[in-house]
Chains A and B, each alone.
Chain A
Amino acid sequence: MKKAVKGMLITALSAALLAGCGNNAGNAGEEGGAASGGEAKSVKLKMFIAQPRLKEHYDNYIADFVAKEKAEKNIDVSVQLEMPTADNAAQILKTRLASNDAPDIFALHAINEIPSYYKAGYLEDLSGQPFVGKLLDSVKPSVTTTDGKVVAIPLETLSWGYLYNKKIFAEQGLTPPTTLREMKAVVEKLKASNITPFVLSYKEAWIPQLVLPLAAGALINTENPDFIERMNKDEGSFTEMKAMFDIFDLINANGTGKATEVGGDDGAAAFAAGKGAMWLQGPWYAETILKSNPDMDFGVAPLPINDNPEATLINLSASTSLAVSKSSKNKEVALDFINYVLDDTASNDFFQALKFNPIATVHTYESYPWVNDATAYVKEGKSYQDPSIPQSVKDEVGKGLQAYYAGQISKEDVLSALDKAWKSYNKVNK
């Protein structure tokens, strides 16, 4: 008895010891045990989507998928859906991947995370899947890797700049400015009428960070097209992006107080209550805004960053996207689900229920007014694809701008910290 226990423990220990030290062995042998047709096969699919607020919709859609898979392929699918909060999502997903426990399907951020996860070899190439043909052209680039492979299906797409209160703008006879000079005039006019021009909410570092993709995108699409490539080769510098401080300073000088204490949700409440006419934020806060003031009428406009009206553009981007794990043992079913996301009949209602923007030709529902605002700009060609700035640089810019706002560091400090962060990214991901 004692011997048996001891033996087991030793085995367990040595297995654990080996597992503790790197996993260069890969996943050979895991593909074995393929199904032998005939009887109903059962498959357990693990999914990881960090959007607990939308759990109900995902649950329903997954249930439909399970029924379909049973009817068409006689496969009993059971889905285990893990839904951590967004704050912890990246950490948990990374821990899962690092411990060889990859979910079959997982959500990640298209622009920020796809490049490094793809490089590390976790993403299945989906280029040949039927859904790819249905994606809108404006959406496809965000889930395509630099070597031309589609590796994820975008769920949430964004077309954004800043938000403005349409009622206040109408009352003051204002229209969204197209240059920095016009923006200054708008600010003056608002101040003259005792209206605070901007709501500031910088408690979470990612909110001040938003100014970087907007400024960089605008400059890259007008005067500095090869910025990203040069940065990736350690040849550029953020001093070229110094212009972003012109608009950032203007916003900060004319905003609500205690910004580093106001989180996104509080900012949404303040904006909805009319405490500021504009808010540096994307339409992904629409639901929160409407929750605190259902009658709120707001629009999306491109943020001017200099006096070139050509540089005042809408940012097109994708965030939450679904990818299939390369090491998934249930790839067939996982791929079925991925394609089902853009199913010809079911997908339309699903996306509408999620309140996401249309991303594919199968989506025909009426989109929201703020989406239409942005789409109008896009149709005029006033838009660009979100520049591919590494996540670590975005994190750095957020923290840097928070500290800059709090008066702790100078512009130059922010810019050199960004250069350092990008160099470090290059070094780690060489």
Chain B
Amino acid sequence: MPVNSYKKYISLLAFVAPAFILYAVFLLIPTLGGMFYSFTDWNGLNRTYEFIGFGNFAEALIEDPDFIHSLLFTLKYVLFMIVLQNVFALGLAVFIETRSRSKGFFRTIFFMPNMISTIISAFMWTFVFAQVLPQLAEKTALTFLDQSWIGDPNVSFFSILIVSLWNGVGYMMIIYLAGLQGVPQSLKEAALIDGATPFQTFLNVTLPMITHAITICFFLTLNGAFKVFEVVYGLTGGGPGRSTQVITMNIYEEAFSNNFRYGYASAKSVILFVIILIFTFIQIQVMKKREVEA
């Protein structure tokens, strides 16, 4: 038995080693390195630093209103994204599912933005928001298009959402489409014959059968939305002021522009990591429970 289990370990290691070594070198060790720096006052430039225990963490959570603001702003963004991205994606999927000939066409159109790099989408939309829409408003009667799309913090939150959704909905839509295909047509028909409205059928028959797809999409959206950076960076740069600054931008700013406080920035990213971890854990627990029930 011991020989056998020893052999087992060897075989496990042999299979896992190539992936694990590269992972350890380029992801695990740097992550631990970042955590290590989070306990120091290293400013990224100096050659020396000191250990300051939890000083950075305390400062971030107690004395740094900008960080707290960016945290709340990000939470708001995450919330909107989870709801809107999934509602849009599922809605599109349901609608497209009903088409027969134009299915492929619509799928392509909605998926296309997903293939364009986020940073480039953000630049493209800057052009649309700052140049095209005001001109369009001027030339047509659509005066509501003449907004301060990326200059007014109240509006720009929605501009950021628009671009994020534009970029991300297509991918989720594909997942939902696949989920919908797994719902037997006969079940839906049976419900309709029993006198259920299409909406009731959707709610009571379709939805429970695609909970797995919903779990996945929630997980992907949650994880991606917490780490949002490029859209905001390209669109508003976090401005005006810091009104649209998300956590990753706050971290970036701390590490590279302010006083280069790299240790402090690392502490903030550890906080972000912990938050994502907690939210993901809760989300998966809740969803798993529902999946089992369903």
Contact = CB atoms under 8 A, between A and B. Distances in A.
A259 B241 CA distance: 13
B33 A98 contact: no
Interface in B119-163: 129-130, 148-153
Contacts of B21: 9, 13
Interface string A388-430: 0011100110011011111011000000000001001100110
Interface in B169-212: none
A20 B241 contact: no
A260 B159 CA distance: 14
Contacts of B259: 390, 392, 424-425, 428-429
Interface stretch (B39-47, B80-88, B95-103, B272-280): B39-47
A321 B259 CA distance: 20
A117 B25 contact: no
Q: Which of A26, A421, A424 has the most CB of B within 10 A?
A: A424
Interface residues of B, number: 40
Please classify the interface of chain A as helix (H, G, I), strand (E, B), loop, or mixed, using the class held by over half of its residues. helix
Contact of B47 (A13, A91, A121, A425): A121
Interface in A79-123: 90-91, 94, 97-98, 116-117, 120-122
A182 interface: no
Contacts of A429: 43, 259
Given A16-B25, A203-B239, A266-B130, A24 B47 contact: yes
Given A120-B45, A406-B240, A13 B148 contact: no
Nearest to B43: A428
Bin the interface of chain A by size: 35 or more
B223 interface: no
Nearest to A120: B45
Interface of A: 9, 12-13, 16-17, 20-24, 26, 90-91, 94, 97-98, 116-117, 120-122, 202-205, 258-263, 266, 390-392, 395-396, 399-400, 402-406, 408-409, 421, 424-425, 428-429
Interface of B: 21, 24-25, 29-30, 32-33, 36, 41-49, 129-130, 148-153, 237, 239-243, 252-253, 256-262
Given A20-B36, A429-B259, 6 more contacts: A22-B48, A90-B257, A120-B43, A395-B257, A403-B241, A406-B243
